[in-house]
Chain A
Amino acid sequence: MSETELTERCRVGDNTARKELYEQYAGQMFGICYRYAGDREIAQDLLHDGFLKAYCSFDKFTYRGEGSLKAWLSRVMVNISLDYLRKNDSARQMLPIDQIPENIEEPREEDLTQVPHKVLMKFIAELPSGYRTVFNLYVMEQLSHKEIAEKLGINEKSSSSQLFRAKKVLAKEINNYLKENNQ
């Protein structure tokens, strides 16, 4: 089934198409949910809600070429995840100042290739949820601090300081990982 056909059939509520959509995208969407939730069980619930929402809002989706379906589904998942985080007010969670690592040498571009994706995901998942949310939105979704501040109901400074600390924590984790695995 082509992407356009999939879209059209999902729009009219065809269950075969819906099933195909699920099977095709569940893995990637689960990844997004997990990246925000930091917990696989929660991610599973978010994935469920996200798909349900997507099936119900297909009339809002306009197909704009290859990849647009995935991009749209991803947005649905991100919004569902943010809703969840907002409800639990965990977007504001952060580490006490003294636990922020200082003077961390930041990893090089090529260092990243030596770290398996699953491990990188684990590092993100282990971030305090406030850092994780801002990191996800800024780095992965490429929003500006202004947009993040609006979405999360925090101020821009708080967004950028959380991103700064998130990077520090991740850099430290990556360095540690590289150290351990290169020995």
Chain B
Amino acid sequence: MTSSTLLSIITFVYGLSAFIYIFSWVFKKPEVARLATWTAAIGFIGHAAGIIWRWNESYGLGIGHAPLSNLYESLIFFAFSLTLIYLIIEYKYRNQIIGAFIMPLAFLTMAYASLSPSVSNHIQPLIPALKSNWLIAHVIACFIGYSAFAVAFGLSLMYLIKQREVDPPAGGSGWLELFPGKQALDELTHQMVMFGFIFLTAGIITGAVWANSAWGRYWGWDPKETWSLITWLVYAALLHARVRWDWRGKRSAYLSVLGFAAVMVTYFFVNYLPGLHSYGSS
């Protein structure tokens, strides 16, 4: 067995957890959600072990490096920080419905990493430009930021669903009965956006410092850099929109969805454009 086998198993654990969260939401059985939480937590521990194991394996191959150097490893780390942030939120806010919107994202990410034939799970040696501690800081900061934005995205979807409910049925028999309140969803989204913003800022900055130490320029308008800036600008606009018009609520939720779309482009689609960051492609 190798670390990638373990990580494929984790994929199914997360899938199971996501399924139970959704089941508990749709069939209004809050008591089974506990099971989902335990499943996610056990999966998370195995996930952490898988990452450390892979790290160790790379040393066994004589090309030791942190497992953050290609698309497979970045997807694994993304799902890892996403699950971590989710579990912390569940612990802090004691609401298990949110899991029905976040754990599927973690499951899909892991499934894409483990099952897609276009994502190679080989441990590859580092090419010279990637040998840098700034790079490790860069990747960690970016992916924590992306995960926070992913959680914000899930919460915004919940908000948008919730706000369509005109008249909550008396006695609370609707699907949305166990949802957090609109204001709570909105504030939690904002928290996640702030959290993501500071990490994305740190990610862009460490990336700039890395580029400066490798190529002698901190900014070169390559497509990946530019898209991370676009993402950053959208979230900066969202932060200001809340200041200016007290844009809490619907419009703020739409901007958060737009911001997450920019994250997806930065992460996946930029690799189809020319530029220096092509190492992310496989």
Question: Do chains A and B stick together as partners?
Answer: no
Q: Which residues of B contact A (CB under 8 A)?
A: none
- A residues apposed to B, CB below 8 Å: none
